[in-house]
Chain A
Amino acid sequence: MTCTDFLSQLTDYFDGQIDPELLAEVQKHVRECHHCEVVLDTTSKTISIYREHEIYEFPTELRERLHSAIMAKCRGGC
């Protein structure tokens, strides 16, 4: 497996949709290629850091204001 092949499998790898044979090849490639090992690790961290951090605040005051506005219009027949 080349580095380009590795990249082409990356999405399926993260999505858990990779064919078992290809998975073994990806794992082998990563053991042998430090650059791809880093790409795998840091891409994985990229996904998890965005997933775990709520980067936009949604304060209660805003939530209540939006909520009231929506429901007032709906009750009024939109």
Chain B
Amino acid sequence: MPAIQSTAAEEVSPDVALVERAKQGDTEAFEQLVRQYERQIFRVAQHITQNREDAEDITQDVFLKAYEKLDQFQGNSKFSTWLVRIAVNESLMRLRKRKTSKTVSMDQDVQTEDGAIPRDFAEWRPNPEQLYGQGELSEILRKTIQGLPPGFRTVFTLRDIENLSTEETAEALGLSVPAVKSRLLRARLQLRERLSRYFRQKNGGAKP
């Protein structure tokens, strides 16, 4: 799989101009930023909280907070990364409030060895897309990522779904690069293991 590292310089400049205008009170410039990133922010919030109402509230809160705190955006990072960081904080806060999963922090889940060692070695044949229809496949993907511990789910979402670089993910989560890499490996392996229950070749490979 090719490396997907964003070229920051290309993406920063148009946003920086919009942010500058928004800082001067130009709501149209801010509206353009909202249009550009509302889907991404909603998706991040939905992935982390696994709750649609929460994701709706968080999406609003993120942009309102961003608008209030525009002056604090220094332009050291991409505007989208800054927004994502706010979305992650808001989402984790919601999870804590819901208390469905004891305490929720980026430091939890690290101790678990669950899924760190692959156990299912069946090939995925035919391809999942050939096995399942679009709706069924989406349901499987939703159920599977829902079962991941929030800390792993968040890293996987930012790095693999939202395509943030490892460094941007580390920055958004307040983690070190090695910590992101370690969580990402666990997240990918756990998802692989869980998806294999649905996608494994029948009558082939080891039993799960």
Binding site for B on A (CB under 8 A): 7, 10-12, 14-17, 34-35, 38-39, 41-51, 53-56, 58, 62-63, 66-67, 69-71, 73-75, 78
Q: Is A46's CB under 8 angstroms from B192's CB?
A: yes
Given contacts A41-B123, A55-B141, contact A46 B188 (CB under 8 A): yes
Q: Which listed residue, A38, A43, A67, A73, touches B123 by the CB 8 Å rule?
A: A38
Q: Which residue of A is nearest B181, CB measured? A: A11
Collect the chain B residues with CB atoms within 8 Å of residue A49's CB. Answer: 128-129, 137, 141, 195
Q: Which listed residue, A35, A42, A56, A63, touches B196 by the CB 8 Å rule?
A: A42
Q: Which listed residue, A12, A41, A47, touches B188 by the CB 8 Å rule?
A: A47
Q: Is A74's CB under 8 angstroms from B30's CB?
A: yes
Having A15-B166, A16-B1, A49-B129, one finds 4 other A-B pairs with CB under 8 Å, namely A43-B188, A43-B189, A71-B27, A78-B68
Q: Is B160's CB under 8 angstroms from A51's CB?
A: yes
Interface class of chain A by DSSP: helix
**B17, CB-defined interface residue at 8 Å:** no
Interface class of chain B by DSSP: helix
Given contacts A48-B1, A53-B141, contact A39 B121 (CB under 8 A): yes
Nearest Cβ on chain A to B22's Cβ, whole angstroms:
9
Collect the chain A residues with CB atoms within 8 Å of residue B60's CB. Answer: 66, 69-70, 73
Distance, CA A48 to CA B188, complexed state (A): 11
Collect the chain A residues with CB atoms within 8 Å of residue B2's CB. Answer: 16
Q: Is B161's CB under 8 angstroms from A56's CB?
A: no
Q: Which residue of B is nearest A39, CB measured? A: B118
Q: Is A47's CB under 8 angstroms from B1's CB?
A: yes
**B207, CB-defined interface residue at 8 Å:** no
Interface size, B (range): 35 or more
Q: Which residue of A is nearest B186, CB measured? A: A11
16 residue pairs bridging A and B, Cβ less than 8 Å apart: A11-B181, A12-B181, A14-B1, A15-B166, A16-B2, A16-B4, A17-B166, A41-B124, A42-B192, A46-B192, A48-B1, A49-B195, A56-B142, A58-B42, A62-B56, A74-B30
Nearest Cβ on chain A to B13's Cβ, whole angstroms:
23
User: Digit string of B161-190 for contact with A (CB within 8 Å is 1, else 0)?
Assistant: 101001000000000000001001100110
Q: Which residue of B is nearest A69, CB measured? A: B60
Q: Is A66's CB under 8 angstroms from B56's CB?
A: yes
Residues 17-65 of B contacting A (Cβ, < 8 Å): 27, 30-31, 34-35, 38-39, 42-43, 46-47, 52, 55-56, 59-60, 63-64
Q: Which listed residue, A14, A35, A51, A55, touches B118 by the CB 8 Å rule?
A: A35
